[in-house]
Amino acid sequence: MVAPAYASDTSGLDFQQFVEEFAGKKDFFVELASATLSVAGTALAVAGTAVAVAQLDQAKRSADEAKRSADEAKRSADEAFKASPEGKIQQALAKAMEPFEPSRPQDEVIQRPVMETLRQRIASWQQHATIIGGRYQSGKSVATEEALRGARGVVRFTIRSAEWTDRMCKHLGVDDEGLFKEVMRRAREKLKDFPDNLTKFPILLLEVPRTTTKGINLISSTAKDVATDKIGSAIHVIVSASSAAVALAFDAGGTERQEDIWVGDLTEEEAKEFLALHGHGNKWEDFVDACGFRIGNLAKACENLKKGMSLDNTKQEYQRLATVEVVRFMELQVHPKVTGREMLQELLKVYPEGIPEVSNGIRILPREVAALIRNKSCHAVYFHPIKKRFFFASKLHKEAAEAQLANP
């Protein structure tokens, strides 16, 4: 019964023949089955690898996200710390402890004896303010900066308004004077790590432009407040005044509570060296004739030459300016009994010695005269705080006074 059924299903092949043929091709089917299993295994392996790669990618993305979150958290923490009082103190302290860098390269600066005087004052300082005085553009800022070159613990600020303490704190990055004093207190502690530093005390260098007329009294009171060592945090206040008149306006509590250092005009040798530095050493006499010995005038004359302006024209311009300042000074009432004109007449009589603040029984107060000079911009005369005498600002001012006083 089976054979006929099979025979009909296999199109005439009898069952025995089918078995024999299948048996003959068994190896083929085994290999086919093995290959099929191998392909299936490979497929499974590939699928497993794909899953593993996907898992690794997901893990990497998770790790990257975690790192970004950690970095963001760190940045937020750093910003929060920097914005905190302690963070601001540390940033300001780091800035103050950097070596002081003058605005002018050293190879462009001539060395003057006054620079060594300043260095000695800074190195031996114990108390009281230091006032750097001199005529406008006599080289005070350059001399002061050069004396401080490389020193650590220096904070520099230019005073331009009556609210200069608030502006100074903002410039330094702290909120108020209390934090500023803490910065300077820590600076003194840090200076102990630099035994070769020029000074063991922190320095507040205040630069006062010629146009500044407000905030001077606050400078004086600040100097008196911080330039003592009552709590181990004394600050050496150095005031670099742009003109002799500005320097005289400063008062730290009398001459016994401040040290005045005068930066005068160049000597002949210094003028030669300065002009040689600018390529005009062989014409130094012509420059001095046109400008005098004030370093600012000589520097301006060098610039004018580059622009095509002759020394004669420069001299005429300086003569014009000197005349303007003399005329303005003549109009001053320097004392209830003395006019500016009369004071110039007395100066001409004793030129070049100058006149004392008490003359013919009349005392002309230097600080009051300085205030008038500063407010009226008539810098024809200056008071030397060390020699204690009034002088013509320059030979050009003396000549201008002679010409004006010759007129009735």
CATH of 106-262 given 3.30.70, 3.40.50, 3.30.200, 3.30.980: 3.40.50
- pLDDT at position 241, please? 86
- Report the SS3 class of residue 85: helix
**DSSP string covering 36-82:** HHHHHHHHHHHHHHHHHHHHHHHHHHHHHHHHHHHHHHHHHHHHHHH
Among 189, 109, 128, 112, which Cα is nearest to 153's? 189
Strand partners, 151: none
pTM: 0.78
- pLDDT at position 2, please? 41
Q: What is the CATH number of domain 320-408?
A: 1.10.10
In whole angstroms, give the CA distance from residue 17 to residue 123: 121
230-276 pLDDT per residue, tens: 545 689 999 998 888 778 877 666 667 789 999 999 999 999 999 99
313-358 pLDDT per residue, tens: 999 999 999 999 999 999 999 999 999 999 999 999 999 999 999 8
In whole angstroms, give the CA distance from residue 174 to residue 156: 14
For the segment 69-95, the average pLDDT, to the nearest whole number, is 88
- pLDDT at position 252, please? 63
Q: Are strands 236-241 and 355-356 parallel, antiparallel or unpaired?
A: unpaired
Structure-token pair, residue 300 = 């301006």
